[in-house]
Amino acid sequence: MSASQTARILIVATDGFEQSELIGPRDAFLAAGLTVEIASIDPGDIQGMVHDKKGETVEATLAVADVEAGAYDALVLPGGVANPDTLRMNEDAVQLVGEFMAAGKPVAAICHGPWLLAEADVLRNRRVTSWPSIRTDLRNAGAEVVDEEVTIDGNLITSRKPDDVPAFSRAVIDAVASAAQKRSAA
């Protein structure tokens, strides 16, 4: 992807995100020359977690209510237990997921992140993976749940846990590059 085709990746998170699942992909996207922005319920610092201990904070520069899905090429949803549980109760976050999915843009969720996909009702007849404790919720939302490092079903990319971050990040980068190639060929 050339600099003139630099994709814009939106990461949506709030307090309680799993640090490695936001910072790892963000850093991989930046290293690949992509633009990354972080949105949360409200702009400002959000608290990361390293499992059950406080980790680093990152700055969310946007409120999800102010995000226009059309301005971005992909959506990334990190896990952590509290992060997606809080976001799935936020109408703007749920709507944003639906907008990205309806547009056919890459949507990537890792660990507990797919909880937000279930809330947005975008999992029917989709193949996904996640952290084991939410797999029943995903099945109840109509998904076929598998246990794989990375599962790709059309524009939907999911992974299970922090150990999967490198493969997850590569899958997102590849999906964005593929989408850019299709746009330039059209």
Please choose, from the candidates 161, 159, 67, 72, the residue with its C-alpha nearest in 3D space to the C-alpha of residue 108.
159
Strand partners, 150: 159
Choose, from 105, 112, 135, 160, the residue flagged as catalytic: 112
Q: Report the b/e string of 26-63 with b at 16+ CB within 10 A.
A: bebbeebebebbbbbbeeeebbbbeeeeebeebebebe
Rounded Cα distance, 59 and 89, in Å: 21
Rounded Cα distance, 9 and 30, in Å: 10
Contact (CB, 8 A) for 148 and 163: no
Sign of CA dihedral 130, 106, 118, 89: positive
Active site residue 51: no
Q: Which residues are catalytic?
A: 112
